[in-house]
Amino acid sequence: LEECAWRQGNPLCHIALGYRSWYGIGMASSCERAAVHYRLAADMTIALANADGTDFHPHDVRLSQPVEVAKEERRIDQVEMDRERAARGEPAAGVSVAVEAQFHDRDPHSAASLYAAAAAGGDTFALNNLGAMLLN
């Protein structure tokens, strides 16, 4: 396996060695050694993917750092999905987008328009919020 990984430069052998290093199969367990083998396997795979002239760009993932999507990015993703659903006429999604416009974007005109569309679709929460906005 070592010869396959180092002399032949086979990324699958590095993955196998990474696995064995992590779990201590036939050697002492070592997270650092496993990370080295996994990184080498990734680099070799990228080189092989680019060998035919394509420009392959994988996501930048570090083995030692957990990949975590920030709370703000998740919120933005949810708002985008709600906007798409609201455009298809789903009243509940329209309310979500209206709340975002009213409280996050501080855009009462857009919020009122979105609440009105959702209220026309039968959403009572939208009707209630639109009435509250008009009173204020």
Token pair, residue 30, equals: 């070592």
In the block, residue with structure tokens 């392959």 = 56
Burial class (CB in 10 A: 0-12, 13-18, 19+), 17: buried
pLDDT in single tens digits along all 136 residues of the chain: 777 777 777 888 888 898 999 899 988 989 889 989 888 888 887 787 777 666 655 554 444 444 455 666 777 888 899 999 999 989 999 999 999 999 988 999 999 999 999 999 988 888 898 888 888 7
From CA 101, how far away is CA 13, in angstroms rounded?
Answer: 52
- Check residue 69 and give its pLDDT: 54
- Check residue 111 and give its pLDDT: 92
- Check residue 116 and give its pLDDT: 92
